[in-house]
Chains A and B, each alone.
Chain A
Amino acid sequence: MDKYLEMIRIRFLMMLAYRTNYYTGILIYSINIGAYYFLWKAIYGAKTDIQGLSIAQMTTYVAISWMARAFYFNNLDREMAMEIKEGKVAVELIRPYNYLGMKTMQAFGEGIFRLFFFSLPGLIIVYFVFPIQFTWDLGVWGLFAISILLSFFINTELNLLTGITTFFLYNNTGLIRAKRVVIDLFSGLILPMSFFPGWAQEIMKFLPFQGISYIPSMIYTEGFTHQQAIAALGQQFLWVVILYLPILWLWSIAKKQLVIQGG
């Protein structure tokens, strides 16, 4: 366990060394939030609420979901693809730790770094620029914290799955790109699930994507009742467990048929 904690720490410090890159990052996120803010304002027009969300809740939804994205987002799939293509994965595999576990911990260190040096200052800036409703209810914050932790795991598991496919496909740049756009739309990052037509919502209930962004953001904006929130957390947890199984399975096959391309 110690070595995994150490990995989190090292990744955190590494990110700290390159923190200037993150100041422009905050700007990018603020600009994104701004673009969607104006777009939503135009969409609402004279309406006071759409699908049970007021314009203020919608603005908060947008801001929170982008800031939460900073925490759960990582490039594990691309990193893994790179390491597999360059053959570095061979060295990683003989080291005395679980490769996938280590990757997850590195991503977690990154996530924690972004949460403190990116999301928090970003939220403060956004708070002054756009009309956002902050809640002071500690219960909501608690549920939100659990929820984004679970979304981190769901997203990371999906990334690991995409990464593992490199073992079989050798070049999966296209797949990685496709996965990213799909997650942006179906996770509820740019559109809350409740805005989709009914049949689409039904389908999406059976997919893991809404556990990534929609659930934590709805919990925070209090678009969910307390009961709904608890049920949603359960749903997220279930997906964390379910997604773990194909990873185990594919990983055991992948290790057997590993082809090192150069290195």
Chain B
Amino acid sequence: MFYVSMFFQYLSQYIKTRLQYRTDLFVEFFSDLLSQAINLIFILVVFGHTDLLSGWSRDEIIFIYGFFLVPFAVFSAFFNIWDFNERYIVKGELDRILTRPIHSLFQIILERLELESLLGGITGIAVMLYAGSRLGLTIEWYEPILFIVFVIGGALVYGGIFIMLACISFWADARTSLMPMMYNISNYGRYPVNIYNKLIRFVLTWILPFAFAGVYPAAFFLEKKEWYWYSFLTPLIGIIFFVLSVMLWNQGVKKYRGAGN
């Protein structure tokens, strides 16, 4: 209960600070929309030259991209920890976090909320509705529920992987550029995995399971029966990766000695 009230306290503070700089907020919305539009343009232009991408049609690929935007938006809104090393370890800010009465990871998530990213989710849903209507998909009563479950699963996959990466900073002091690299790898998950070779497919499914935030759950709504098994694994993989990352985090915090000041 305490955690919930803390969350809303931080939320209201967050909204206040954000509304202070309205033009900034607007420009950020705009540049997010622009980068989403550019990914869509890429898909459209490519399908000007081919009808099928390893058996997937243009609208199906667009649908997958739309789906991917939703868990990714949830992830970016709550797990904004890509600069954890510089911000908390190098500057010694983690010392302050550890004196707080709530779990350190939760505290950091609260401090680094970026709720405007959720707008990307709305774009994603719009894209899905557009592509879905062109594909003649109908919405069954259970699909919105599964959609929410899959989105949470996908966001937890992302969250888990990036928390684990942040944990590296507990053991190694060196600044690494692993985080941007991971963003690049995560882009692979947006496209159907069967276009890749076996090795990449294996990595995207079991080691860095980004495909569970894109093509696998989206395949369920596209009624691709051969992928159903993977679709239903989404929440499970999400929970497993997230729990593992929190366990790793707890170990890391025990190990943390402070950067000195």
Report whether B27 and A174 are in contact in the complex, using a CB–CB cutoff of 8 Å: yes
**Are A47 and B42 in contact (CB-based, < 8 A)?**
no
**A25, B178: Cα distance in complex, Å:** 9
Residue of A nearest to B23 (CB): A171
Among B46, B174, B178, the most chain A Cβ lie within 10 Å of the Cβ of B46
**8 Å CB interface, B28-57 against A:** 28, 30-31, 34-35, 38, 41-42, 45-46, 48-50, 52-54
Residues of A within 8 A of B249 (CB): none
CB of B139, distance to nearest CB on chain A (Å): 29
Whether the pair A195, B30 counts as a contact (CB closer than 8 A) is no
**Which A residues are CB-close (under 8 A) to B30?**
174, 178
Interface size on B, residues (CB 8 A): 36
Are B177 and A28 in contact, with the CB atoms below 8 A? Answer: yes
- Which residues of A are found within 8 Å of B27, using beta-carbon distances? 173-175, 178
- In the complex, the answer to whether B34 meets A182 with C-beta atoms within 8 Å is yes
A181 contacts the other chain (CB 8 A) = yes
A17 CB, nearest partner CB in chain B, Å = 13
The answer to whether A181 touches B177, judged by C-beta atoms less than 8 angstroms apart, is no
Q: How many chain A residues touch B (Cβ–Cβ < 8 Å)?
A: 35
A195 smallest CB distance to B (angstroms): 6
Binding-face segment, A89-97, A142-150, A183-191: A183-191
Taking a contact as CB atoms under 8 Å apart, the answer to whether A21 and B175 are in contact is: yes
Decide if the interface of chain A is mainly helix, strand, loop or mixed. helix
Which B-chain residue is minimally distant from A172 (CB atoms)?
A: B27
A31 at the B interface (CB under 8 A): yes
- In A114-128, the 8 Å CB interface with B consists of none
Cβ contact within 8 Å between B195 and A41:
yes
Instruction: Please give, as numbers and ranges, the residues of chain B lying within 8 Å of A25 by CB-CB distance.
Output: 177
Q: In the complex, A49 Cα to B53 Cα: how many Å?
A: 15
Contacts of A34 in B (CB 8 A): 200
- A256 cross-chain contacts in B, Cβ below 8 A: none
**Out of B34, B35, B41, B49, which one reaches A43, CB within 8 Å?**
B49
Indicate whether A38 sits within 8 Å of B195 (C-beta atoms), given known contacts A21-B175, A32-B184, A181-B34.
yes
Question: Which residues of A are found within 8 Å of B197, using beta-carbon distances?
Answer: 38
Note all chain B residues with C-beta closer than 8 A to A39. Answer: 46, 191, 195
Q: Is A141 an interface residue (CB 8 A)?
A: no
Q: Bound complex: CA of A182 vs CA of B41, how far in Å?
A: 11
Q: Are B49 and A181 in contact (CB under 8 A)?
A: no
Chain B residue nearest to A200 in the complex (CB): B45
Bound together, the chains give a CA A35 to CA B176 distance in angstroms of 22
Chain B residue nearest to A22 (CB atoms) is B177
Q: Is the CB of B195 within 8 A of A195?
A: no
**B21 nearest in chain A by CB position:** A171
Binary B-proximity of A27-58 (CB < 8 A = 1, otherwise 0): 11001101100110111110100110000000
CB–CB B184/A28 < 8 A: yes
- Could you mark each residue 156-194 of chain A with 1 if its beta carbon is under 8 Å from any beta carbon of chain B, else 0? 000000000000000101110110011011000011000
* Given A43-B50, A185-B38, A24-B176 contact (CB < 8 Å): yes
Q: B188 at the A/B interface (Cβ < 8 Å)?
A: yes
Q: Is the CB of B177 within 8 A of A21?
A: yes
Closest A residue to B174 by beta carbon equals A20
**A138–B24 alpha-carbon span in the complex (Å):** 49
Beyond A31-B181, A178-B31, A185-B38: 8 further Cβ-contacts under 8 Å?
A28-B180, A28-B184, A32-B184, A34-B200, A38-B200, A50-B49, A174-B24, A197-B45
Q: List 30 A-B contacts (CB under 8 A).
A: A20-B174, A24-B177, A28-B180, A28-B181, A28-B184, A31-B181, A34-B200, A35-B187, A38-B196, A39-B195, A42-B191, A42-B195, A43-B49, A43-B53, A44-B50, A45-B53, A45-B54, A50-B50, A173-B24, A173-B27, A175-B27, A178-B27, A178-B31, A181-B34, A182-B34, A185-B42, A190-B42, A195-B46, A195-B49, A196-B45
Interface residues in chain A, defined as those with a beta carbon under 8 Å from any beta carbon in chain B: 20-21, 24-25, 27-28, 31-32, 34-35, 38-39, 41-45, 47, 50-51, 171, 173-175, 177-178, 181-182, 184-185, 190-191, 195-197
